[in-house]
Structure 1
């Protein structure tokens, strides 16, 4: 748990394995779009933890179901039905506050989910766009762990539950974390690892990806298709793809009698991942659109 005088927490890094190239919206996950706190940071924080034998039975988690608080060792969290939890802290709105809390409606869960900052709101939107979230728990539990200075506490920002497993997530912009934060993130990482969950500290998003997803977000809600444009647009895109002919956003819209009406329908199909576009490139009339991989068959 000791550090040398030359050791310092460093800034965030792109997750190892991310490479430059197209990020097709129909095939990527939020992990492909996010920037993460580097492994060196978490290793630095891990050195400040007491991970002696039996630590997962000593460390405690406390969660809230309604107004009732329940607690137990972190080793038993997989047996806890966390889907009924409410946020650990209350969310308040008042004039002059510096953070921006709110409620984000999520299509994949059919409910509103709380956030405390614009960055946290972005994460919820990104998770909703991927369509994998069966549940998004804001501030799922209070973690009590042993670190430098004795017992410490941390409240992770989100627990994302899907058919592919669970992800514990903290959201912190690059350059806005100190040594104490890094220790807390490392503690959350160790808990997630012990439980077989994923863990990430999201510091931002890859260039252009948030701007593009935010554009599609404007057309995410259910819409009536009285002119029957959706099946025709998908059929046109599928035919062009079968002939290996690149089809741009504008060209696809122009195949309809009313291109101006077709554009929001295409954006709707993009949000729902029936069509795909490269999220790493500026979106515009020249953006190449493809049929989602699952819809090609």
Structure 2
């Protein structure tokens, strides 16, 4: 029921508003997910990139309860359906999380959510390099834009020890820009992975390791897997 619902509140866009609202097309759900700030957009990006997430719902329900004689109401920002069970997420800048009013609201929300056996997360600003990398890879998330044959050949190409620049030139019958984009798509869908805590560079300094991953198969199909690692900084 929650999966098919609409956001509890109406998202509004108007000239001069202080926050940044919008809608993001999610590769996980195949639908638009709304957000009310750039920080919420960042959380949606990370959820869409997470291979354990099956569903993303914005403002999924109104939580109402009597807490120590006070009637409390709260609409969480997101509900994520994951392989480990439902997780309720509130997004708030870290400096605002220190407010006693905000902390009290989140403490009550955590008790209510965890009493149902669900998980609860208060999410703040992520590391800048990691966010930049995930935002960049999200540009390659649309699977239908990539030739299945190209993706399959890349996964069988024996790229052990190659940089991304070298890997992009390993399939001469495919245009190099297409191969490079396909590598980024495989990174997005976790068929390949690298250390995203470091900026993805066009050069080989510093060297990074790109290797195969097993987690992408569940969501994105059953491409053949290859063994070995390649350096992913170029």
Corresponding residue for residue 33 of structure 2: 113
Contact 2:146 2:182 in 1 (8 A): no
Corresponding residue for residue 181 of structure 1: 102
Corresponding residue for residue 225 of structure 1: 147
Give distance in 2, aligned partners of 1:293 and 1:134.
17
Q: Is 2:201 the partner of 1:280?
A: no
Q: Is 2:163 the partner of 1:248?
A: yes
Q: Is 2:39 the partner of 1:122?
A: no
Quote how far apart the aligned CAs of 1:205 are.
Answer: 1.1
Contact 1:230 1:265 in 2 (8 A): yes
- Specify the structure having the higher radius of gyration (Cα): 1
Contact 2:156 2:226 in 1 (8 A): no
Corresponding residue for residue 77 of structure 2: 157
- Structure of higher RCO (CA pairs closer than 8 Å, 6+ residues apart): 1
> In the TM superposition, what whole-angstrom CA distance separates every residue of 1:48-68 from its partner, at most 9, and x where no partner exists?
xxxxxxxxxxxxxxxxxxxxx
Of the three residues 139, 147, 152, the one matched with 2:59 is 139
TM-score (normalised: structure 2): 0.81
Contact 1:145 1:187 in 2 (8 A): no
Give distance in 1, aligned partners of 2:94 and 2:69.
26
Q: Is 2:176 the partner of 1:259?
A: yes
Q: 1:207 to 1:224 in 2, by over 3 A?
A: closer
Contact 2:88 2:119 in 1 (8 A): yes
Give distance in 2, aligned partners of 1:148 and 1:191.
13
Contact 1:147 1:183 in 2 (8 A): no
Unaligned runs of 5+ residues in structure 1 are: 1-80
Unaligned runs of 5+ residues in structure 2 are: 216-224, 228-234
Q: 1:180 to 1:134 in 2, by over 3 A?
A: same
**Paired residues, what number?**
210
